[in-house]
Copies of this chain bind each other. A is one copy, B any other.
Amino acid sequence: MTETSAHSALYRKHILGVDQFDPELLAEIFPLSVSMLERVDRHDPTLRDILAGYLLIVFFYEASTRTSCSHEAAMKRLGGEVIVRENIQFSSVSKGETLEDTIRTFAQYGDIIALRHYDVGSVERASKVCDVPIINAGDGTGEHPTQALLDVFTIRSEMKNIESLKVVFVGDLKHGRTVHSLSRLIASRYGTRIGCYAPESLRMSNELRAELGRQTIVEEYETFEQAIAEADVLYVTRIQQERMPQVEYDRVKGMYILTPELMQHAKERMIVMHPFPRKGEIDSRVDLDPRAAYFRQAKNGLAVRMALLKLVLAG
């Protein structure tokens, strides 16, 4: 590891939640992510020296192919090895065994664990008994810090100055873990203005609104056109049919579908994001619009996770 002399503040630390990403750390992670992306694109062979000999265990109690593949690819791009086990909830290790026992055992095999679990707080609980660093890859409705980080990185890469932007969230603002983590991170760290456009029953909770309101201006929009028009970043999320009364779903269905026609209301310089998978919220014709940033967003996930793995394992 000749790349850094002094160690990062993340060195040998767990990554549990967005709160631990202070401005100094973000200032370390983001330029490194840019560099990772650039080195991947030109197939830099020295990239593989960075984590050669290190072993990541991707341990998912529920399947999330996107997130697990992104971690796996990040580690492999850096020359590291990866062991993946998904759907652990159906396997022998979870039968009657405590999460703590499982994690302490698997920590014997590798150098770092990326853990996803369906219970809020479970990853933090596991980290308390774990000899190696743990990355929280999502714990139920709790935290998913690397997702929030890749979202901020995407905004930063595409729009540069986060502080002066307005980020408008559309869709399910009540349950979405992504919306919670990201809005809290940008409001607290950058004072970014927040906009909201959601069906009555899926509005942001009063608690979250109040927390954000102490740090920035939070606006609500009455029409999709207005939300689109004012957004520097339009962050679209999925409305899950089972999460609202059928009568309301039938009413709102179609009021949240982004089309090329609606994109004519948008600023010339803005981006559309989506954590994916999408299910009709964004018409596939929008993909051709250069402002559609959601596939670049996936690639940024790779870059940010490469940066994090490097900082935690190699300093």
Min C-beta distance of A276 to chain B, whole Å: 6
**Can you list 24 pairs linking A and B with CB atoms under 8 Å apart?**
A45-B53, A48-B52, A48-B53, A57-B69, A65-B91, A65-B93, A66-B93, A66-B105, A73-B109, A73-B110, A76-B83, A92-B277, A95-B277, A97-B276, A98-B284, A101-B276, A104-B287, A104-B295, A105-B295, A108-B295, A108-B299, A108-B301, A109-B298, A109-B302
Provide the residues of chain B in CB contact with A100, threshold 8 Å: 284
Cα A301 to Cα B88 with chains together (Å): 21
Q: A64-B92, A76-B55, A295-B108 are in contact. Are A69 and B98 (CB under 8 A)?
A: no
Are A63 and B47 in contact, CB atoms less than 8 angstroms apart?
A: no
Cα A63 to Cα B3 with chains together (Å): 40
Provide the residues of chain B in CB contact with A63, threshold 8 Å: 91-92
Check: A81 CB closer than 8 A to any chain B CB.
yes
Cα A69 to Cα B108 with chains together (Å): 10
State the interface size on chain A (CB cutoff 8 A): 50
Q: A92-B277, A108-B301 are in contact. List 17 more A-B contacts (CB 8 A).
A: A43-B53, A43-B54, A45-B53, A55-B77, A65-B85, A65-B93, A69-B85, A73-B83, A76-B83, A93-B277, A96-B277, A97-B277, A98-B284, A101-B277, A102-B277, A105-B276, A109-B302
Provide the residues of chain B in CB contact with A108, threshold 8 Å: 295, 298-299, 301-302
Cα A295 to Cα B132 with chains together (Å): 14
Check: A106 CB closer than 8 A to any chain B CB.
yes
Cα A91 to Cα B101 with chains together (Å): 27
Provide the residues of chain B in CB contact with A83, threshold 8 Å: 69, 72-73, 76
Are A65 and B88 in contact, CB atoms less than 8 angstroms apart?
A: yes
- Majority DSSP secondary structure for residues of A touching B: helix
Cα A302 to Cα B295 with chains together (Å): 33
Check: A156 CB closer than 8 A to any chain B CB.
no
Min C-beta distance of A252 to chain B, whole Å: 18
Cα A299 to Cα B131 with chains together (Å): 12
Nearest B residue (CB) for A57: B69
Check: A125 CB closer than 8 A to any chain B CB.
no
Check: A154 CB closer than 8 A to any chain B CB.
no
Check: A279 CB closer than 8 A to any chain B CB.
yes
Check: A160 CB closer than 8 A to any chain B CB.
no
Provide the residues of chain B in CB contact with A301, threshold 8 Å: 108
Provide the residues of chain B in CB contact with A253, threshold 8 Å: none
Q: A98-B284, A277-B95, A279-B97 are in contact. Are A109 and B55 (CB under 8 A)?
A: no
Cα A92 to Cα B279 with chains together (Å): 12
* Contact code string A55-84 (vs B, CB < 8 Å = 1, else 0): 101000001111001101100110001010
